[in-house]
A = this chain, B = another copy of it.
Amino acid sequence: MKALVYDGVETLGFRDVADAVAGTDDHLIRVDAVGICGSDMHAYLGHDARRPAPLILGHEAAGTIQGGPRDGTRVTVNPLVTCGTCAACRSGRENLCPTRQIISMPPREGAFAQFITMPDSNLVTVPDGVSAAKASLAEPLAVSWHAARLALEALHPSMEKRALVIGGGAIGLAAALALRAMGIEDVTIAEPNDARRAFLTDRCGQRTTAEVADSYPLIIDAVGYGATRATASAQALPGGVIAHVGLGEDTGGLDIRRMTLQEITFIGTYTYTAQDFRDTAAAIFDGRLGPLDWTETRPLSDGFAAFQDLRAGRVAAPKIILDPWA
């Protein structure tokens, strides 16, 4: 099969690799659409020790089951593979499973390929009329859905239902969409990049700001750098909540004196539970997350150029989706 292989820092090759072969507990899945994530870019730049070259990246996949009793079923793929038996898995917090694996990280190859294999429990059936591109958004949208859910659960019921999302990439935009789907009508996205902000406003109908001047009861940091955490901890209202998604910088930024004196809660969030993934897919399918027409699809064979364009800031769309069969 063909795959886009990460061969080393800022180097990707589209070439033949060994065919994916399903084990007895897995389905073989033809990949119809697979998105490029910020963490793929992170690995491509050589910044993720957990993803050493050579490796097939990509973990935002939708496709079609090949063979077996469910042959031909269109599915979107939860890429987190967890044990199902530990305390975290049994309590519905599969993302905290100590033996969790994700495709695109050894020992599991990723989905920038024509085929992958996955257990049945990781698959959510996609209804007719929902495109593979849209279905492949379940994974990144679930990340934001999870962060929004945890933030809302932590928010004191007496506080205003009003939120700021820092960062207007796919995770930030998806966080704004998830918050709205959960009933928070008043959401602002802070995005300093003019082209990206214009896209969010004009194409996605979002309220945006270049700089954060107001204060908010709920803030989602969808970037994860010291500077964005500094903004979050300065602009959270007393008793407010910050949910933190990104892995930009490992430390720093938080004004802990203010967070202590003003009782601000900071929640680290990572991926999603299996239920979050299913809930997100359902919200995509029934339209609660909007038209989701802000993606750009390119052939997987042009994936290297797509990474170069993203790296150079030449892409306005929050998400590029690759098609392994174009």
* A contact set with B: CB distance below 8 Å: 87-88, 90-93, 95-96, 98, 150, 154, 156-159, 224, 229, 238-239, 244-247, 249-270
Instruction: Report how far A101 CA is from B255 CA in the complex, Å.
Output: 22
A260 engages B251 (CB within 8 Å): no
Instruction: Report how far A112 CA is from B262 CA in the complex, Å.
Output: 26
B263 engages A96 (CB within 8 Å): yes
A251 engages B262 (CB within 8 Å): no
Partner of A87, one of B88, B158, B264: B158
A269 engages B262 (CB within 8 Å): no
B260 engages A246 (CB within 8 Å): yes
Partner of A269, one of B250, B263, B269: B263
A257 engages B250 (CB within 8 Å): yes
A256 engages B261 (CB within 8 Å): no
What 17 new A-B contacts, CB under 8 Å, besides A254-B256, A263-B270? Answer: A91-B157, A92-B158, A93-B263, A96-B238, A96-B262, A154-B265, A224-B256, A229-B256, A244-B256, A244-B260, A250-B256, A253-B256, A254-B254, A262-B270, A263-B268, A263-B269, A265-B268
- Please give the distance in Å from A125's CB to the nearest CB on chain B: 28
Q: CB-nearest residue of chain B relative to A256?
A: B251
* A258 CB contacts on chain B under 8 angstroms: 268
Q: CB-nearest residue of chain B relative to A238?
A: B96
Q: 6 closest Cβ contacts across the A-B interface?
A: A91-B158, A259-B268, A250-B257, A260-B268, A96-B238, A266-B266
- Please give the distance in Å from A195's CB to the nearest CB on chain B: 28
* A264 CB contacts on chain B under 8 angstroms: 268
B257 engages A247 (CB within 8 Å): yes
Instruction: Report how far A157 CA is from B153 CA in the complex, Å.
Output: 14
A263 engages B95 (CB within 8 Å): yes
* A239 CB contacts on chain B under 8 angstroms: 88, 93, 96
Partner of A265, one of B95, B158, B255, B266: B266
A260 engages B238 (CB within 8 Å): no
- Please give the distance in Å from A93's CB to the nearest CB on chain B: 6
* A156 CB contacts on chain B under 8 angstroms: 91, 93
* A267 CB contacts on chain B under 8 angstroms: 263, 265-266
A257 engages B263 (CB within 8 Å): no
Instruction: Report how far A260 CA is from B263 CA in the complex, Å.
Output: 19
* A95 CB contacts on chain B under 8 angstroms: 263
* A270 CB contacts on chain B under 8 angstroms: 260-263
Instruction: Report how far A154 CA is from B255 CA in the complex, Å.
Output: 21
* A254 CB contacts on chain B under 8 angstroms: 251, 254, 256
* A260 CB contacts on chain B under 8 angstroms: 224, 244-247, 268-270
CB<8 Å pairs between A and B, sample of 18: A88-B158, A88-B238, A90-B158, A91-B157, A95-B263, A96-B239, A224-B256, A250-B255, A252-B252, A254-B256, A258-B268, A259-B266, A259-B268, A260-B269, A261-B270, A265-B267, A266-B266, A266-B268
* A93 CB contacts on chain B under 8 angstroms: 156, 158, 239, 263
Instruction: Report how far A90 CA is from B268 CA in the complex, Å.
Output: 30
Q: CB-nearest residue of chain B relative to A257?
A: B250
